[in-house]
Structure 1
Amino acid sequence: MTDPANTPPAPDLPAPDRHPDAGAELTRLLSVMQALRDPESGCPWDQVQDFDSIVPYTIEEAYEAADAIARRDWTQIPDELGDLLFQIVYYADMAADQGRFDFATIARGIADKMIRRHPHVFAGASAEDIRRRWEDGKAGERSRRQETGALAGIPVNLPALTRAAKLCARAARVGFDWRDPALVIDKIGEELAELRAELAGADRARLHDELGDVLFTVANLARALGLDPEDCLRHGNTKFQRRFEAMERAIETGGRSVAEASAEEKEAAWQAVKRQEAALRS
């Protein structure tokens, strides 16, 4: 664990006036976790968990928090963020049992990192100094983790579209990039043609490979346009669900289910929904 005595002094920081009860509530949460994992009186499920078994729950909680934020559900957001915070406390308590680190190590580390990365806030710096120090700091962190190369340190467990965009952005920093987004669109057409050529053979391995190329290039296009591919896809998912449900309701007003309707009827209802949306936007 980190020795607080060796922690560099922090700059003058504002008092946490907006969070007067935070310290007491966090201490209570840490105590709750200790009770849950107590080897004698704790919860049997919590007692047997480890780092690997908790990871899927952490990812799930992060997505649930993101969903509540996207919906601006202000009553649900604190609950979902609490679930996510609980995951961090879980890792900290398990690591403390093993003598590796504790919650204070996590909190101290991220506070120190943010102070280092924001000299314009805590020490005063020019815009160029900020950019250079940020990049130098990231490079130093990767070096300490013995990660080398322009693409090092991008987590493999990121959502695939997000990771694709980050890989492309990192490559672009060293000049490996498209000059114009229109060229990326041309590349998508090329990749689609290669995918189409594999359809006749229906070799799953080849289709898997070619479709991956299409999706990767689409993610690159989003980056080239200054868009987040995950956010674009979430928007597309929401739009599809909204239109599909409107189509369902339209068909069901005639006393039939969507499954009973013909392909032509479903298409007609779908197009009607799109026209209604276009009319509302105009």
Structure 2
Amino acid sequence: MTFDQLPARRQEQLMAFNRLLTIMDELREQCPWDRKQTMETLRHLTIEETYELSDAILEGNRSEIKKEIGDLMLHMVFYSKIGSEAPENDPQRFDVADVLNGISDKLISRHPHIYGDVNGNKVVADTEEKVKANWEQLKLKEGNKSVLGGVPQSLPALVKAMRIQEKARGAGFDWDEPAQVWAKVEEEMQEFQAEYNADGGAIDEARAEGEFGDLLFSLVNYARFMNLNPETALERTNKKFIKRFQYLEDRARANGQVLHEMTLAEMDVYWEEAKRV
């Protein structure tokens, strides 16, 4: 299909992407800041932009989501531009076409239930769980030595726990019923409590930390069984706490009070008010 045969909106989308690529070429050549950047210097900025997109999603702000997607899109184009600047004989050289064709090829190969396998045969995967299981099996065939090998080491621990458990489930290693998972939560809670009630002596911090980690891991597991995202749940609670605490601060300030001079009972009055706002 030629460009002119594409639907009008798809032509607009491709032209918009071409415009971004052109601007990136110009900035990389003419702007001192853009010329100076490397993949390493962009890395921490990309992480920041990703969290800004996450915030916008949690807030349900579509205008901000659109803006943050644009910021991340720029970063992807920037990395691709830097990749294209390697010597032509460098086997690791790539440009944006290589990036886009690479992800397209992967999506096709990872969805044999849609596009067929290498022999053109459709694979049956009529549920989300079957799709996930097929995905993990295909990754192993592609050379991954472990189902868990694709979990980034630098992921925040809570997100990493969720991804580890999802991938283990894709390999068939999981509980059968939510009740079993909750029983594990209670077991881990008892073991954590036991570290603080052993003999009244000094606490073994390393053991206590280990038991607390086990407890958190089991809670993440239970959240997954309940179709809850623990990272999202905790972040919403963080935002709720911040909102209520800032209300407390504002009310105290308006009444000429200073927080560190107030009793907990006095602060709790404003806290209860915040819950009703």
- TM-score scaled by length of structure 2: 0.77
Q: Give the equivalent residue in structure 1 for 2:248.
A: 247
The unaligned stretches of length 5 or more in structure 2 are none
SS class of match (2:11): coil
The Cα shift of 1:103 comes to: 0.4
The Cα shift of 1:165 comes to: 1.4
SS class of match (2:261): coil
| Range with bigger deviation, 174-183 or 83-92 | 174-183
Question: What does residue range 1-282 of structure 1 map to in structure 2 within 5 Å?
Answer: 15-38=6-29, 41-43=30-32, 45-98=33-86, 99=88, 100-118=93-111, 128-129=124-125, 135-144=133-142, 146-198=143-195, 201=202, 204-274=205-275, 276=276
Question: Which structure carries more helix by proportion?
Answer: 2
Report the AA paired with residue 60 of structure 1: E
* Cα separation, 1, equivalents of 2:227 and 2:256: 46
Distance 1:196 1:137, change over 3 A: closer
CA offsets 1:60-112 (integer angstroms, 9 cap, x no match): 11111122233233332222111100111121111111252110111122233
Distance 1:75 1:102, change over 3 A: same
* Cα separation, 2, equivalents of 1:176 and 1:75: 41
Distance 1:172 1:120, change over 3 A: closer
Contact 2:27 2:35 in 1 (8 A): yes
Distance 1:192 1:23, change over 3 A: same
The Cα shift of 1:217 comes to: 1.8
* Cα separation, 2, equivalents of 1:47 and 1:70: 34
The Cα shift of 1:231 comes to: 1.2
* Cα separation, 2, equivalents of 1:130 and 1:184: 26
Distance 1:125 1:266, change over 3 A: farther
* Cα separation, 1, equivalents of 2:40 and 2:195: 38
The unaligned stretches of length 5 or more in structure 1 are 1-9, 278-282
- TM-score scaled by length of structure 1: 0.76
Contact 1:151 1:167 in 2 (8 A): yes
Structure with the greater relative contact order (CA < 8 A, sep ≥ 6): 1 or 2? 1
SS class of match (1:178): coil
Report the AA paired with residue 256 of structure 2: G
The Cα shift of 1:121 comes to: 5.9
Distance 1:16 1:118, change over 3 A: farther
Contact 2:140 2:146 in 1 (8 A): no
CA offsets 1:31-71 (integer angstroms, 9 cap, x no match): 33233333xx442x433433333222222111111222332
What RMSD in Å do the two structures reach over aligned CA positions? 3.3
Report the AA paired with residue 97 of structure 2: A
* Cα separation, 2, equivalents of 1:134 and 1:168: 12
CA offsets 1:96-132 (integer angstroms, 9 cap, x no match): 1125211011112223333444566667998934566
Contact 2:137 2:171 in 1 (8 A): no
Contact 1:185 1:221 in 2 (8 A): yes
The Cα shift of 1:135 comes to: 4.1
| Range with bigger deviation, 135-144 or 72-81 | 135-144
